[in-house]
Amino acid sequence: MTDALLRVEDLRVTFALRGEGDMPWTSPRLLHAVSGVSFDLAPGETLGIVGESGCGKSTLARALIQMVPATGRAIWQGRTDLLSLSPREMLRHRADIQMVFQDPLASLNPRMTVGQIIAEPLRTHQHGLGRDAVKARVQEMMDRVGLLPNQINRYPHEFSGGQCQRIGIARALIVRPKLLICDEPVSALDVSIQAQVINLLAELQRDLGLAMIFIAHDLSVVKHISDRVMVLYLGRTMEIAPRHDLYANPQHPYTQALLSAVPIPDPAAERAKHIIPLEGDLPSPLRPPSGCVFRTRCVRARSRCADEVPVLQGVDHRTACHFPGPAPALRAEPA
């Protein structure tokens, strides 16, 4: 993709861990949180990233904005490698790349009012704005996200979880970024509130022309907001495809298992669908399986899967599997 807003190449995040009993001269254990993830993101596009807890989704997001150290390349607007920047150099790009976090209340400073929280990025990145201009921008953004003007002097603990997430969204968008990274922004909310926040994000994206990376572990949530979906497992990309293709014709056994667990509103269809169970637990990233990391839970695993690491194959619909193909009797919810 030549006109990509962001192009990520072979991104890797590794943590060196030491136990309480380890001697200073012993080598630390290496935890491979993200292992060679690559993708492109076009202006105005939404990329959904899904997978079980512990698959590296949040670590990937934090690596893109240098919250955790990473190797590889993250080329911003075809010119700048974000991963190679110093903290001072990265500060110039933070207004263009903002993040909404999973826990809405914990991400807000309890000692600051709503107005101060939303205005904070303006005071950091746009020093020339006067007090009246800042207040006007804050009130405009509060109105956009559904907050009332008389709430500007209240504190985070006076709001519900959904309202706190609206405050977090307003804070992220007040500087009018080009990319918004949403790290499981609705997982801590009630189902009815989840729908409101997702609809709000979709509306703001259309109005402001945002690109978005939307991280979740629920495929039904990602479906309603994403243009493309990337499936992660143990820090590796298993499948990446346009939303309609992935939901209608998943090729990787892991994607098929995740989709088979998505509830279908029609009771008859829910009873008739074929469930693909995932056997066992997610392996430890300290000791990932050889070859294909999914092979220990895969019904298609063969000896080749233990010897060779599968690479992503395909053009628009790409799959990292030695034996890809449709799952018999898998019934995905219509797009």
What residue segments make up the domains of the chain, in order of their start? 1-14+32-96+181-200+209-335, 107-176
Q: What does each C-alpha distance from 72 to 47, 69, 232 come to in angstroms?
A: 19, 10, 17
pLDDT tens sequence for the chain (335 residues) = 558 999 999 999 999 887 766 667 678 888 999 999 999 999 999 999 999 888 999 999 999 999 999 999 999 999 999 999 999 999 989 999 999 998 888 889 999 999 999 999 999 898 888 899 999 999 999 999 999 999 999 999 999 989 999 999 999 999 999 999 999 998 878 888 888 999 999 999 999 999 999 999 888 889 889 999 999 999 999 999 999 999 999 999 999 999 888 777 777 776 777 778 788 888 988 899 999 999 999 989 999 999 999 999 999 999 999 999 987 654 444 43
Query: Sheet holding 211-215: strands in order across?
Result: 97-100, 179-183, 211-215, 46-50, 228-233, 236-242, 318-319
Spatial distance between the Cα atoms of 236 and 168, rounded to a whole number of angstroms: 29
pLDDT of residue 328: 60
The bridge status of strand 211-215 relative to strand 80-81 is unpaired
Sort 202 into a burial class: Cβ within 10 Å, 0-12 / 13-18 / 19+.
middle
CA 162, distance to chain mean position in Å, is: 19
Mapped to the 3 state alphabet, what secondary structure does 16-27 carry?
EECCCCCCCCCC
Q: What does each C-alpha distance from 146 to 1, 82, 197, 287 come to in angstroms?
A: 36, 33, 10, 46
CATH class of 1-14+32-96+181-200+209-335: alpha beta
pLDDT of residue 21: 65
Sort 248 into a burial class: Cβ within 10 Å, 0-12 / 13-18 / 19+.
middle
pLDDT of residue 256: 92
30: β partners: 16
Q: What is the DSSP letter of 214?
A: E
The bridge status of strand 211-215 relative to strand 179-183 is parallel
pLDDT of residue 17: 86
Under DSSP, is residue 51 helix (H, G, I), strand (E, B) or coil? coil
pLDDT of residue 183: 93
CB 171 within 8 A of CB 147: no
Cβ-Cβ contacts under 8 Å for 319 (sequence gap 6 or more):
238, 239, 251, 252, 312, 313
Spatial distance between the Cα atoms of 79 and 5, rounded to a whole number of angstroms: 10
CB 172 within 8 A of CB 180: yes
Task: Copy the structure tokens of residue 231.
Answer: 């499936």
